[in-house]
Amino acid sequence: MWSAFANPERFERLAARLVPWFGWGAVILFAIGLPWALIISPPDYQQGDTVRIMYVHVPSAWLSMAAYAGLGGASFVYFIWRHNVADLAAQALAPIGAVFAFLTLATGSLWGRPMWGTWWEWDARLTSMLVLFLLYLGYMALRAAIEDERLAARAGAILAMAGLINLPIIKFSVDWWNTLHQPASVIRLDGPTIHASQLWPLLVMALAFTALMTALVFMNVRNMSLARRAEARARRKIEGGEG
């Protein structure tokens, strides 16, 4: 199974086909989700229009965690099997996941000021999300600091895999500790507690962000793969000319 995705040329052809589908899917979903979330959906009876921050905050939180799970998984595949496409996927996921983690922190701060009376609180959920953002930055900084590409990939993979322990901490922090952050209201064993008038636009926005992230990841991996192969060809030409 892995060999099919480890072939750079095969992956590039697959990515070229999928990027337009996910890209246009994101455009369509945002065209539906944005007016639904920001205009049509009702204000919350307690939070008022502040609740509309949720339509960006919650998908960003989900995708920042999903991107890191993908980063850790791709790093594991590279570390064990040395599949270069997996390493490229990890590199592509890191900056995208970092952006979503930053959006989560920023929108959470905007929501927290009117709801909690503070821009920031060192509770378990917020702190563990900040750790996730720092893990993304640390991964990218580590890759950039090591000149040897293979050594950088291995070191980055180790850091990414170690950071996976933070994901369950983020998820269950509201259950394990007494925090200001509200408990889960969508992904629950007993079903969502959020009203359908807010749940459906939230899910559409989550799908829109997911389609956007998927398109960006495939596009970035394809571009990096093409650049890496072009560099390899140029290197072989130089070495052949010198010989």
pLDDT category, 1, cuts 50, 70, 90? very low
pLDDT above 90 for 180: no
Q: Model confidence over 218-234: pLDDT tens digits? A: 999 999 999 988 888 88
Q: Give pLDDT, residue 3.
A: 55
193: in domain: no
Q: What is the pLDDT of residue 193?
A: 78
The domain containing residue 110 runs over which residues? 10-43+55-185+198-224
pLDDT beyond 60 at 2: no
Question: Which CB contacts under 8 angstroms, 24+ apart, belong to 229-233?
Answer: 229/8
Position 181 in a domain: yes
- Domain tally, the chain: 1
